[in-house]
Structure formats: C-alpha cells, structure tokens
Amino acid sequence: MEKLVELRDATKELSLIRSLKDYKRPFEVVGNYRLIDDGKLPEATVIIKTDEQKTHEAATGVGPVDALANVLKKSLTRVFPFIENVRLVDYSAKIHDAKTGTAAKVEVSIVFSNGEELWKVSEISENINAASFMALLDGFEYAIHLHRLSPKPLK
C-alpha cells in the first residue's frame, strides 16, 4: 500500500549525525529559555548563538508551546531566513507511567513542515514545557539541515 505522505524521523536522523566526530550544531541556546505563563498571554525569551551572531528575542503565543515556537522561529529567522516557511503541523504529548502523578515523564512529539517535506521529532522530560522546547530545537535544527541538502527557495 502506498503512503499518502512520507514522515521523516528527524529525532533518529539527528541522533545519528550528532554521533559523527565532525558534527557541529548550526546554533546553540545560550543559557536556557525563560517562560512566563500567566494563563492568558505566555511570553518566552531565548538567546541563540550561531557562527554569524548572537540574538536575544522575546515572543508571545496562545499557549506556552506556541510562545516557545514563536521565539525560536523569530530568533533563527534572522540568520536562517528560510525558517520563516517552517510550520508546526501537529503536536501531541503522551504521559509515561501515570502512576507517578505530576512527576510522570511526558513524551512530546511535533510534526514540522517546510511546505514540501514533513518531519517528526520527539523528546521526553518530566516537564512538558522542557520536552516541548527540546523538540522544537530539534525540529528547527532539522529544517536547517534539510535546507542545506536542498537550498532551493520555498514558495
């Protein structure tokens, strides 16, 4: 049976290329993200460093994950303009070992698209926002690698 779409396992691919001795990430987070969630208009801040520059940005969103995605996209678009075309198309969270209550580990999965390809990333943490942030970092890092493999302008 033919698939309607091909969904790349970016978590696995990133894990493999990160094991190579000459691998260098295209960006890094300086410190950690900051998230203020008042339940109405969450705000996230982050400092991103690349070979070209260091950016300190803030953004809001309709929820904490949206604020985190917006701040990363805003920061990375300065150096990688094609990131503007990257969209989050699906988000899910799965509780592991619910018997531990609020200390349970949460697995966050996010599907991204650049309009031409789809890729999925997953991360696990006891903190849903931290798992989301790590997954967002991986999703945007993978977008940069896809662009480097096929640097054509996106519509």
Residue spans of the domains in the chain: they are 7-149
Confidence (pLDDT) at 84 = 97
The helix (H) or strand (E) run that includes residue 116 is none
Cβ neighbour number for residue 146 with a 10 Å cutoff: 20
Q: Tokens 């999965």 identify what position?
A: 109
Query: 3-class SS at 71?
Result: helix
d(CA 143, CA 71): 16
Confidence (pLDDT) at 5 = 86
- What pTM value is reported for the model? 0.91
7-149 is classed in which CATH architecture?
Answer: 2-Layer Sandwich (3.30)
CB 82 within 8 A of CB 142: no
Confidence (pLDDT) at 155 = 47
One pLDDT digit (tens) per residue for the chain, 155 residues: 777 889 999 999 999 999 999 999 999 999 999 999 998 999 999 999 999 899 999 999 999 999 999 999 999 999 999 999 999 999 999 998 877 777 789 999 999 999 999 999 999 999 999 999 999 999 999 999 999 988 665 44
